[in-house]
């Protein structure tokens, strides 16, 4: 009776019943978020391929809330024995090259042949507003409906190298959830996609013909990291230009010394829009995996990636501990004010804070 009176009173104040119901739903969602996470239950659900549990675990990993840190670490530890059973493919290219369209076509091809595909799409974060669009699910509207596909957009934040802060950990969870092909779509910022290269088995570079970047083929950088170059949008009137670009890139690739994997990078044409040439790219990936598995390079590279991950984790942990110390936070504000007033230099302020940290 009291609840009915309360609802009637709200309606008198101009609040509809639907708004009251919506308010209750929001409160329920907030309450569930505050509930303590049962690590064992969540891990079990991930191993049973529960997408909701997977998404929740990834959110905990990406969270900057210190209270979530230990929970996230335990989940990763529990999932680690079930990881490393996938092919990890990094996909990069300049904005406008058609990465999202290509990944959707590639992902649909993989699911059609019985693969389970996880797409980790990294969106650039604005250095001004600190916001990201995270619109990859909208751009991949067909793939997002596929039961054998999982798309997780994440913001790059302040991470360099075209990936998000916790991409490696997310890979482990996706593998534990039974996804046997992991596609990492990078920000696509030119020649700085170094971090993603350190966490994938196969690195695919998407290019456009007639965009003036054929010359990039003779520059060291992202080209020499690529295991394959796919010239996208090779359709319609663009086919002739695409074929010429293929010849140029092939010439450029032969200037580089043989890779430690002994794999000779390939150049291929594709049209993600028309779904042409997609299967040939997957065949290239399979040939690469077969070769590198046979000569031992595949496992050796995975081992090197884990070593790189160790160093990066240490760096992140030290940075986090430094900036989260109350004394450092207080002194940092003071030093920033002094720099603004021209009373000290950034170098002197940095040395002071680092020396202070030694005694804390």
Same domain, 162 and 227: yes
Of 43, 61, 79, the domain-final residue: 79
Q: Is 10 a domain residue?
A: no
Q: Of the segments 31-40, 141-150, 275-284, which one has the largest average pLDDT value?
A: 275-284
pLDDT over 80 (residue 5): no
Tens-digit pLDDT profile for residues 33-91: 555 678 999 999 999 999 999 999 999 988 877 788 889 889 999 999 999 899 999 99
| CATH code of 191's domain | 3.40.50.300
Same domain, 269 and 290: yes
Same domain, 160 and 289: yes
Same domain, 137 and 246: yes
Same domain, 31 and 142: no
Q: Tell me the DSSP string of 136-173.
A: HHHHTTTGGG-TTEEEEEEE-TT--SSS-TTHHHHHHH
Same domain, 25 and 105: no
The domain total for the chain is 3
Q: Is 5 a domain residue?
A: no
Tens-digit pLDDT profile for residues 287-345: 999 999 999 999 999 998 888 888 888 888 888 889 989 999 999 999 999 999 999 99
Q: Is 137 a domain residue?
A: yes
Count of helices and strands (H, E) across the chain: 15, 7
Local confidence band at 280 (pLDDT 50, 70, 90 cut-offs): very high
Q: What is the pLDDT of residue 127?
A: 38
- Grouping H, G, I as helix, E, B as strand and the rest as coil, residue 278 is helix
Q: Is 6 a domain residue?
A: no
Gap between the Cα atoms of 122 and 100, Å rounded: 11
Mean pLDDT of the chain: 82
Tell me the torsion sign for CA atoms 323, 324, 330, 331.
Answer: negative
Same domain, 290 and 211: yes
Q: Is 90 a domain residue?
A: yes
| CATH code of 353's domain | 1.10.287
Q: Is 269 a domain residue?
A: yes
Query: What pTM did the predictor assign?
Result: 0.79
Maximum Cα–Cα distance across the chain: 82
Same domain, 47 and 193: no
Tens-digit pLDDT profile for residues 145-188: 999 999 998 765 444 443 445 788 899 999 999 999 999 988 65
Q: Is 4 a domain residue?
A: no
What integer is the mean pLDDT of 249-276?
Answer: 91
Between residues 187 and 131, the one the model is more confident about: 187
Q: What is the pLDDT of residue 174?
A: 96
pLDDT over 80 (residue 138): no
Of 273, 295, 317, the domain-final residue: 295
What integer is the mean pLDDT of 238-243?
Answer: 91
pLDDT over 60 (residue 137): no
Q: What is the pLDDT of residue 135?
A: 45
- Grouping H, G, I as helix, E, B as strand and the rest as coil, residue 90 is strand
| Domain region containing 53 | 16-79
Same domain, 23 and 101: no
Same domain, 121 and 266: yes
Of 242, 266, 295, the domain-final residue: 295
Strands 228-232 and 117-123, bridge-based pairing: unpaired
Tens-digit pLDDT profile for residues 203-236: 999 998 865 554 444 455 678 889 999 999 999 8
Gap between the Cα atoms of 339 and 333, Å rounded: 10
Same domain, 228 and 117: yes
Same domain, 146 and 237: yes
Q: Is 111 a domain residue?
A: yes
């Amino acid at each position: 009776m009291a609840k009915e009176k309360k609802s009637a009173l709200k309606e008198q104040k101009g609040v509809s019943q639907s708004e009251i119901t919506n308010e209750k739903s929001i409160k329920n969602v907030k309450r569930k978020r505050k509930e303590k996470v049962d690590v064992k239950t969540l891990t079990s659900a991930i191993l049973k391929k529960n997408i909701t549990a997977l998404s929740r675990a990834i959110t905990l990993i990406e969270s900057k809330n210190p209270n979530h840190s230990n929970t996230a670490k335990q989940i990763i530890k529990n999932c680690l024995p079930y990881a490393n059973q996938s092919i990890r493919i990094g996909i990069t290219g300049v904005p406008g090259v058609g990465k999202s369209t290509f990944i959707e076509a590639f992902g649909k091809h993989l699911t059609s042949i019985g693969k389970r595909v996880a797409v980790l799409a990294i969106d650039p974060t604005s250095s001004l507003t600190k916001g990201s669009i995270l619109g990859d699910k909208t751009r991949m509207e067909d793939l997002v409906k596929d039961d054998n596909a999982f798309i997780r957009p994440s913001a790059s934040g302040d991470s360099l190298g075209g990936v998000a802060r916790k991409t490696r950990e997310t890979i482990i969870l996706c593998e534990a959830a039974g996804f046997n092909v992991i596609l990492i779509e990078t920000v696509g910022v030119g020649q700085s996609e170094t971090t993603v290269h350190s966490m994938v088995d196969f690195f695919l570079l998407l290019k456009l013909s007639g965009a003036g970047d054929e010359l990039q083929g003779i520059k060291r950088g992202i080209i020499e990291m690529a295991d394959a170059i796919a010239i996208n949008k090779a359709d319609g009137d663009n086919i002739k230009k695409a074929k010429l670009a293929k010849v140029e890139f092939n010439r450029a690739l032969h200037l580089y010394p043989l890779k430690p994997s002994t794999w000779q990078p390939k150049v291929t044409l594709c049209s993600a829009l028309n779904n042409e040439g997609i299967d040939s790219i997957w065949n290239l990936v399979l040939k690469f995996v077969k070769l590198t598995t046979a000569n031992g390079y595949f496992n050796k590279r995975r081992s090197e990636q884990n070593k790189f991950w160790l160093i990066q984790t240490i760096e992140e942990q030290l940075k986090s501990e430094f900036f989260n110390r109350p004394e450092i936070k207080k002194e940092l504000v003071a030093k920033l004010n002094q720099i603004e007033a021209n009373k000290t230099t950034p170098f002197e302020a940095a040395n002071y804070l680092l020396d202070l940290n030694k005694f804390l």
